[in-house]
Copies of this chain bind each other. A is one copy, B any other.
């Protein structure tokens, strides 16, 4: 098979599955799941460190050892100001310009706040960050994010952690059709590999998920399943799916059917 890669902020990547590192039953399982997923990028966060913790920080040790590209997030931020400062702290610690920009606008559906998100994205781009905005599937918001310098979009499929899949395929297809040059990563809401495959079949560049793998009965097996699902969807996009038809059409040749007389 031809080499099929994608690109974000000048980095060429092979794997189209980005994986979160939270919610796993143990650091060991996390590490094994990441390996099984074939992800090249994993998401991480910054959290308050108690002084008592000393040097101990098992999970981070595990993550560091995996030697994957890090995508730090600003999870939990509710304003542009918070997200900005957390992004700066991330850059210092993780030594990367990459930032998954989350600015939550509602504590019930954990959706992005379009207004604060755009404000934060503009500032972060100005400061040289490579912004991966966790956004809604709103075309105008997405266009604005591109206007301020984002080179990637990360619309939600469904609210974080719900596993509902792609609740508004129409909107995602509109994004894909209207912004054909931009890598779209569906982030949040994916529950099973068929959801991931469906996103890729639409022409999305990649998929980012966490809960669906971490909270499976067997996270490692599920990571492997998602890897296959993403490959399946990507492969289908490249191979060009048949058009849907309204009426049935036989596959076996009709000509020469036995027992049939004029």
Chain A residues packing against B (C-beta within 8 Å): 1, 20, 22-23, 43, 45-49, 73, 75-77, 82, 85-86, 89, 105-106, 108-115, 118, 136, 138-141, 143-144, 158-164, 167-168, 170-171, 174, 178, 191-198, 201, 210-212, 214-222, 224-229, 231-236, 238-260
Contacts and interface: CB of A to CB of B under 8 A. Distances in A.
B161 A248 contact: yes
Contacts of A168: 167-168, 170-171
Contacts of A241: 163, 191-192, 212, 216, 222
A235 B228 contact: yes
Q: How many identical subunits does the complex contain?
A: 4
A259 B83 CA distance: 10
Given A232-B193, A258-B48, A249 B162 contact: yes
B242 A211 contact: yes
Given A114-B140, A193-B201, A257-B47, A239 B218 contact: yes
Contact of A163 (B75, B235, B243): B243
A260 B85 CA distance: 13
Contacts of A236: 192-194, 216, 222, 225-226, 229
A212 B214 CA distance: 33
A228 B225 contact: no
Given A76-B258, A216-B241, A217-B239, 12 more contacts: A48-B258, A49-B256, A108-B247, A114-B138, A161-B245, A161-B248, A191-B242, A193-B197, A197-B229, A197-B232, A218-B240, A221-B238
